[in-house]
Amino acid sequence: MEQFMSIFRANDEVITLAAILISVITLLLWFINTWRTGRLLKKYDKLMRGAEGKNLEERLITHLQTVQRALAKTEEVESAYKAVRNIAEKSIQHVGVVRFNAFDDTGSDLSFAVALLDYQGDGVVISSLFGRTESRIYAKPVSRGKSSYLLSDEEAEAIRKAIGTSRIE
């Protein structure tokens, strides 16, 4: 310990100058860091204020809430779309009409066959046979463009016309 004190006393001026130099450098680095930190804080505050002076965090929260509402609305619209599509596929979408003379003694093509089909080609074919003394109406079910009942040429043609206006295979 004595030895250390004698070295310190012999070099006290050098040690004091070194301590002052280190203190000045430390003070200079502190000023530089304070100045840089101030600049960064100004930039951060400017960023956080955003374009309308609002806090960026508030804007992000508002935006996320808007996105969540939009997603909920999209799910609602998708659900409604599926329901409407389901109804539409079961609705009459394809119609084929054939007019003809059922009997030789009548004119003006007063008899007819009408095919009323949905998206899948399911539905009904209705035939009306008009004669001078009587008229008859027949209805036959249609599934996928075909009927389990024997079809007249006109009924089959009405179904072909209806299918021709669609993507039914």
Q: Which domain holds residue 113?
A: 94-164
Assign residue 27 a region: left if phi > 0, alpha if psi is -120 to 50, beta otherwise?
A: alpha
The CA distance from 99 to 88, in Å, is 28
**The pLDDT value given to residue 75:** 95
Question: Comparing C-alpha atoms, which of 88, 91, 94 is closest to residue 160?
Answer: 94
Domain total in the chain: 1
Asked if residue 127 is part of any domain, the answer here is yes
Of 23 and 130, more confident: 23
Answer yes or no: is pLDDT of 168 > 50. no
Average pLDDT over the chain, rounded to whole?
88
Confirm whether pTM is higher than 0.85: no
Asked if residue 67 is part of any domain, the answer here is no
H/E segment holding residue 85: helix 56-89
Question: How does pLDDT run across 96-149, given as a tens digit for each residue?
Answer: 999 998 877 666 788 999 999 998 899 999 999 988 788 899 999 999 999 999
